[in-house]
């Protein structure tokens, strides 16, 4: 029997217990042993809950129990999750987590501790909810140099943008629905400002590059400035607005960013709607590959955590994760990235389009039957050049980057 402990009995923690109970027989068969939850750690009481008899409030019980071989850390946040994880690994216990913030910040160190002790620190659920992406990057795409990873990595914002586009509901209502469905982070700011997607692309960039990509270095813009008017223009252009997290290797150097993009219907991520996430990767020999599935929510995320528990149980004395070094990855600057830009400006198409073309160069004008404004798509140039051109007029209402 493999005894495990679950730290955190929130949305994901209770999902882990539910998945282990629902699929007990097949999980045990696949793990080659019986997996038993011995403890559930949480500060709160859960009277009448099936885990009541396993509930503990003191972490020391877990770390000092030699029977516990695997610990599930689904507490979220950096502390005390970091200290608890480190101590569990140092005490000879493998750890499985959904905690992207912790993996993004301290992944290199925790992976190294696990490797030294022939244990595992597994974090499939930290990126893409239920989608297997870490395991493929770790063990399937190993013949390739990964030169691009672009994804819709946040279910909450994808849900909000989809609802705004297809149901015509406003931002606040869509956010509330996402929270009720258990997709959102404790603080919705982490979702809507793009911080959650930023941590996830930092993890994927660290895995792809083998070095520590610091999320503070990644340019991040959320969806809070996206309005119903922007969506009208997008529909008029036959495009969708998606919050993309992207990481590319060009001339031997990595570039990463998170921002809303206008993508056309030929783009592989165009039809990824609602809470779904998708991750598109490009290998230098493989070409393109795409992963698609439920990107958030209690059970999809718990499913990924439990898959890690099965893997950890099958490899109790063997480290199976590729690690990345703590050497800092120097990312290239956003200002050098080249692309087209969609710009909304105050004015009248007939009288002001020529003035805009003088500033922004050749433009494709777009209208969405909105009074006192029009939009256009520029030619391709760098972010620095866009900034310099936009500074020459006070007519700009909003800019959204164009992909494809
Ligand atoms: N809040 C996250 C999301 C949960 O919406 O994608 C999954 O990481």
pLDDT band at 95 (very low <50, low <70, confident <90, very high): very high
Bridge pairing between strands 2-7 and 68-73 = parallel
Please name the helix (run of DSSP H) or strand (run of DSSP E) that holds residue 36, with its range, or none: strand 35-41
Decide: 120 and 218 in contact? Cβ < 8 Å. Answer: no
Gap between the Cα atoms of 71 and 365, Å rounded: 57
Which ligand 1 atom is at minimum distance from the Cα of 200? 8
Say if residue 142's pLDDT is above 90.
Answer: no
Decide: 137 and 124 in contact? Cβ < 8 Å. Answer: no
Gap from CA of 270 to ligand 1 centroid (Å): 19
Buried b (16+ CB within 10 A) or exposed e, 346-369: ebeeeebbeebeebbeebeebebe
Cα of 388 vs its chain's centroid, Å: 31
If one counts the domains in the chain, the total is: 3
pLDDT band at 322 (very low <50, low <70, confident <90, very high): confident
Are residues 188 and 306 located together in one domain of the fold?
no
State pLDDT tens for residues 40-49.
999 999 999 9
Gap from CA of 155 to ligand 1 centroid (Å): 5
Show the ligand 1 pocket: residues with CB < 6 angstroms: 129, 154-156, 183-185, 191, 196, 295-296
* Residue identifier of the C-alpha nearest atom 7 of ligand 1: 296
State pLDDT tens for residues 48-67.
999 999 999 999 999 999 99
Structure tokens of 373? Answer: 């404004």
Gap from CA of 364 to ligand 1 centroid (Å): 36
Domain assignment of residue 255, yes or no: yes
Mean pLDDT on 297-316: 97
Decide: 89 and 113 in contact? Cβ < 8 Å. Answer: yes
Are residues 162 and 197 located together in one domain of the fold?
yes
Gap from CA of 59 to ligand 1 centroid (Å): 26
Are residues 276 and 187 located together in one domain of the fold?
yes
State pLDDT tens for residues 204-215.
999 999 999 999
Which ligand 1 atom is at minimum distance from the Cα of 157? 5
Mean pLDDT on 282-292: 93
Are residues 156 and 76 located together in one domain of the fold?
no
Are residues 79 and 116 located together in one domain of the fold?
yes
Dihedral angle sign, alpha carbons of residues 281, 284, 288, 289 = negative
Domain assignment of residue 325, yes or no: no
Are residues 117 and 182 located together in one domain of the fold?
no
Predicted local distance difference test score (pLDDT) of residue 311: 97
Domain assignment of residue 85, yes or no: yes
Predicted local distance difference test score (pLDDT) of residue 139: 82
pLDDT band at 186 (very low <50, low <70, confident <90, very high): confident
Domain assignment of residue 48, yes or no: yes
Options 93, 100, 200, 298, the catalytic residue: 200
Gap between the Cα atoms of 357 and 345, Å rounded: 12
**100 flagged as catalytic:** no
Gap from CA of 195 to ligand 1 centroid (Å): 10
Predicted local distance difference test score (pLDDT) of residue 254: 96
Q: Which residue has the higher pLDDT, 189 or 143?
A: 189
Are residues 182 and 89 located together in one domain of the fold?
no
Say if residue 175's pLDDT is above 90.
Answer: yes
Decide: 299 and 18 in contact? Cβ < 8 Å. Answer: yes
* Residue identifier of the C-alpha nearest atom 4 of ligand 1: 296
Q: Please provide residue 216's backbone torsions phi and psi, each rounded to the nearest 5 degrees.
A: -65, -20
Q: For the chain, how are helix, strand and coil distributed in percent, rounded to 5?
A: 40, 25, 35
Are residues 192 and 73 located together in one domain of the fold?
no
Predicted local distance difference test score (pLDDT) of residue 79: 98
Say if residue 140's pLDDT is above 90.
Answer: no
pLDDT band at 262 (very low <50, low <70, confident <90, very high): very high
pLDDT band at 78 (very low <50, low <70, confident <90, very high): very high
Are residues 113 and 49 located together in one domain of the fold?
yes
Which ligand 1 atom is at minimum distance from the Cα of 153? 6
Which ligand 1 atom is at minimum distance from the Cα of 184? 1
Gap from CA of 54 to ligand 1 centroid (Å): 28
Gap between the Cα atoms of 309 and 125, Å rounded: 11
For position 204, which CATH number holds? 3.30.360.10
Are residues 165 and 243 located together in one domain of the fold?
yes
Structure tokens of 353? Answer: 């389009």
Q: Give me the percent of the chain exceeding a pLDDT of 70.
A: 100
Decide: 231 and 241 in contact? Cβ < 8 Å. Answer: yes
For position 33, which CATH number holds? 3.40.50.720
Are residues 91 and 33 located together in one domain of the fold?
yes
Domain span at residue 78?
Answer: 2-129+298-314
Domain end residue (candidates: 240, 262, 294): 294
pLDDT band at 171 (very low <50, low <70, confident <90, very high): very high
Which ligand 1 atom is at minimum distance from the Cα of 191? 1
Are residues 289 and 177 located together in one domain of the fold?
yes
Say if residue 143's pLDDT is above 90.
Answer: no
pTM: 0.96
Domain end residue (candidates: 282, 314, 346): 314
Computed over every residue of the chain, the mean pLDDT equals 96
């Amino acid at each position: 029997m493999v005894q495990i402990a679950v730290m955190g009995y929130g949305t994901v923690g209770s999902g882990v217990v539910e998945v282990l109970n629902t699929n007990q027989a097949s999980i045990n068969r696949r793990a080659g042993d019986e997996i038993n939850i011995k403890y559930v750690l949480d500060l709160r009481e859960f009277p009448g809950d099936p885990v009541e008899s396993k509930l503990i409030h003191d972490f020391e019980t877990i770390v000092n129990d030699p029977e516990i071989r695997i610990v599930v850390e689904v507490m979220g946040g950096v502390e005390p999750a970091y200290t608890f994880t480190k101590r569990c690994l140092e005490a000879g216990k493998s750890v499985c987590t959904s905690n992207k913030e912790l993996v993004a910040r301290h992944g290199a160190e925790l992976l190294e501790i696990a490797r030294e002790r022939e244990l595992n620190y597994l974090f499939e659920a930290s990126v893409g909810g239920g989608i297997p992406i870490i395991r493929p990057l770790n063990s399937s795409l190993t013949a390739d140099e990964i030169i691009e990873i672009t994804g819709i990595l946040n279910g909450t914002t994808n849900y909000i943008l989809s609802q705004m586009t297809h149901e015509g509901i406003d931002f606040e209502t869509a956010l509330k629905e996402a929270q009720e469905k258990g997709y959102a982070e404790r603080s919705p700011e982490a979702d809507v400002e793009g911080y959650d997607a930023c941590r996830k692309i930092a993890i994927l960039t660290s895995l792809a590059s083998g070095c520590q990509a610091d999320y503070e270095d990644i340019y991040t813009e959320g969806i809070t400035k996206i309005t119903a008017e922007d969506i009208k223009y997008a529909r008029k252009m036959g495009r969708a607005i998606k919050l993309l997290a992207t990481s590319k290797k060009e001339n031997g150097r990595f570039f990463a960013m998170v921002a809303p993009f206008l993508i056309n219907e030929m783009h592989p991520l165009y039809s990824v709607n609602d809470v779904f996430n998708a991750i598109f990767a490009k290998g230098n020999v493989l070409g393109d590959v795409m992963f698609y599935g439920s990107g958030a929510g209690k059970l999809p995320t718990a499913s990924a955590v439990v898959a890690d528990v099965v893997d950890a149980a099958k490899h109790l004395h063997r480290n199976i994760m590729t690690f990345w070094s703590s050497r800092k990855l120097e990312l290239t600057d956003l200002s050098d990235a080249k692309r087209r830009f969609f710009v909304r400006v105050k004015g009248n198409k007939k009288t002001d389009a020529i003035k805009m073309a003088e500033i922004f160069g050749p433009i494709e004008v777009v209208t969405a039957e909105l009074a006192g404004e029009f939009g256009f798509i520029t030619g391709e140039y760098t972010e620095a050049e866009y900034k310099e051109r936009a500074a020459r007029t006070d007519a700009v209402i909003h800019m959204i980057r164009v992909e494809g």
